[in-house]
Amino acid sequence: MPSRSTRLNTCVSDVLETTPETIHVVAGVLNDGQGRVLLAQRPPGKSLEGLWEFPGGKAEPGESAAQALARELHEELGIHAELGEVLTRFPWRYGDKQLDLETLRVTHWDGEPRSCEGQALQWVDARTFDREQLTPADRPIMALLAESVD
Ligand SMILES: Nc1nc2c([nH]c(=O)n2[C@H]2C[C@H](O)[C@@H](COP(=O)(O)OP(=O)(O)OP(=O)(O)O)O2)c(=O)[nH]1
Ligand SMILES: [Mg+2]
């Protein structure tokens, strides 16, 4: 039986085409140990308004994925995070915006995540959450997480 991470990682695309315009987005999967993961709601006035996503954001020039995600999780949730494996990484297009979307497991963090930038937060069961409420790119990611719940 392959491990949970092996099964998830088999879905990472082998080849990722990037262009200078590609936006590298990093997002964190915080798991509460009971099959629930943390989601943040995209705020009014932004693209994909009202849909739910994994906390994170755009990497700044020169940042590694881990550096960018640690910074974003501190800014958005007020936590210091320890990051684990890359769970998924694939290209995604929204209109004329090309993303390189990478998710990493967040293995440990200090304190209780809180909304530092006004976004609604919720813990959801990966198996039962209605995926239509997620950003389109996050729907296949949640499907993988649902499969990997022990
Ligand atoms: N943080 C995060 N972003 C995601 C996820 N899934 C997903 O499609 N995205 C998209 C939404 C945005 O287009 C982009 C993240 O950029 P951001 O949140 O820093 O950007 P933004 O809202 O300021 O920018 P924009 O979309 O209005 O251009 O990635 C996810 O799980 N987490
Ligand atoms: Mg963000």
Ligand 1 shell residues, CB under 6 Å: 25, 27, 46-48, 53-54, 56-58, 94, 99, 101, 135, 137-138
90 marked as binding residue: no
Task: Please provide residue 114's backbone torsions phi and psi, each rounded to the nearest 5 degrees.
Answer: -135, 160
Q: Indicate the top mutation candidate among 26, 37, 38, 48 to test ligand 1's pocket, ranked by most ligand atoms within 8 A of CB.
A: 48
Which pLDDT score is estimated for 15?
Answer: 54
The count of residues in the chain is 150
Please answer whether residues 70 and 83 qualify as being in contact, where contact means their C-beta atoms are separated by less than 8 angstroms.
yes
How much of the chain is in helix, strand and coil states, percent to nearest 5?
Answer: 20, 35, 45
CA of 33 to the centre of ligand 2 (A): 24
Q: Indicate the top mutation candidate among 25, 69, 124 to test ligand 1's pocket, ranked by most ligand atoms within 8 A of CB.
A: 25
Q: Is the pLDDT of residue 150 over 70?
A: no
CA of 66 to the centre of ligand 2 (A): 15
Strands (E), 36-96: 36-41, 52-53, 56-58, 81-94
Between CA 99 and CA 7 the distance in angstroms is 23
Nearest alpha-carbon partner for 16 in 110, 70, 89: 89
Q: What residues are paired with 103 via a beta bridge?
A: 27, 88
pTM attached to this predicted model: 0.89
Q: Is the ipTM of this complex over 0.85?
A: yes
Token pair listed for 113? 């995540």
Please answer whether residues 98 and 19 qualify as being in contact, where contact means their C-beta atoms are separated by less than 8 angstroms.
yes
Determine the topology of domain 4-12+20-148 in CATH: Nucleoside Triphosphate Pyrophosphohydrolase (3.90.79)
Q: Where are the domains of the chain?
A: 4-12+20-148
pLDDT in tens, 54-101: 999 999 999 999 999 999 999 999 999 999 999 999 999 999 999 999
